Amino acid sequence: MNVLVTGGAGYIGSHAVKQLVQTGHRVIAIDNLYRGHREAVDRGASFHPMDLMDTDRLAELLRQHEIGCVMHFAALAYVGESVTQPLRYYRNNTAGAISLLEAMDRAGVERMVFSSTCATYGEPREMPIVETTPQQPINPYGWTKWYVERILKDYAAANGRFSFVALRYFNVAGCAADGTIGEDHEPETHIVPLLLLTALGRREKFTVFGTDYPTPDGTCIRDYVHVEDLCSAHIAAMEALQPGDQRFYNLGIGRGYSVKEVLESARRVTGAKIAVDDGARRPGDPAVLYADAGKIGRELGWSARYTDVDAIVETAWNWLRRHPDGYATRT
């Protein structure tokens, strides 16, 4: 299939491009390169630097390449930044998705796989989180994604052949198993690369935000899903879509690891001591968040291959120790 990948130079998007190429799809990747890396895009894909708000160019690209499905990853994704710069997030994430849908409408493209988030659930009172858990976002980032889900439903209702799947991610981690591409953010906010950068001596210490949560070791518990598993779910969802489908799936491993458990994993994998500083809780950090991913398993036969935290961390370490400066590393 001819697949357009938005945000194809980003962390998750680049892994999706790589996997799509490997599975025989023809891939056209776009990215405005604000936080993406051109070097991350698989050479087997066609790359076009482009912004989501350029509706006319998007429509032409979709028509020119006879796109059968769009995988939509392009988004700003820092929760804290969304609180201080909400208009920027609503413009990029929500208005950008509208521009993309308008382009798809003009070009007659009727399938989308949408990168959504568990942040649409807010702070659920019950675990694990299922797809019917009430969606009550607590920050602009979560709202931007929730609005896109709502827009997709309304557009699908108005256009009987349009189909979509919204995949609600939990904590994405790890890097390509072959070490060719990985995670390179500026600023970096994800726990695994922060720990590994500390192990490499690139950071003085790792801060644990809150050690007094009502969990077995006092630190937050999260569901970590490997980026390659995440991408395989996108392909499975794309290939299952039928005209008029509206699907929603959680993507996680169905259990959580605490911050301290991930810290100890990083110490085991790297052999480094990793200095730690105990910090205060961050506002809005629930004690426990993990997914029930049973629905996608029952309907599409998908399940995560990486469920052991050491295996996830090891793929990230394989990338970062060879690319300590990310894509700026000269090899």
User: Is the CATH code 3.90.25.10 the one for domain 191-222+254-328?
Assistant: yes
Q: What Å distances lie between residue 189 and 16, 32, 151, 247, CA to CA?
A: 21, 21, 29, 30
The pLDDT tens digits along the chain (331 residues) read: 999 999 999 999 999 999 999 999 999 999 999 999 999 999 999 999 999 999 999 999 999 999 999 999 999 999 999 999 999 999 999 999 999 999 999 999 999 999 999 999 999 999 999 999 999 999 999 999 999 999 999 999 999 899 999 999 999 999 999 999 999 999 999 999 999 999 999 999 999 999 999 999 999 999 999 999 999 999 999 999 999 999 999 999 999 999 999 999 999 999 999 999 999 998 878 899 999 999 999 999 999 999 999 999 999 999 999 999 999 986 5
Neighbours of 82 (CB within 10 A): 22
Same CATH fold assignment for domains 2-173+224-251 and 191-222+254-328: no
* 273 burial type by CB count under 10 A (0-12 exposed, 13-18 middle, 19+ buried): exposed
Which is nearest to 34 in space by CA: 76, 72, 70, 71? 76
- Whether the predicted model's global pTM rises above the 0.95 cut: yes
User: Is the CATH code 1.20.1050.10 the one for domain 2-173+224-251?
Assistant: no
Domain boundaries, the chain: 2-173+224-251, 191-222+254-328
Just list the catalytic residues.
141
233: its two tokens: 């779910």
Please name the helix (run of DSSP H) or strand (run of DSSP E) that holds residue 235, with its range, or none: helix 227-240
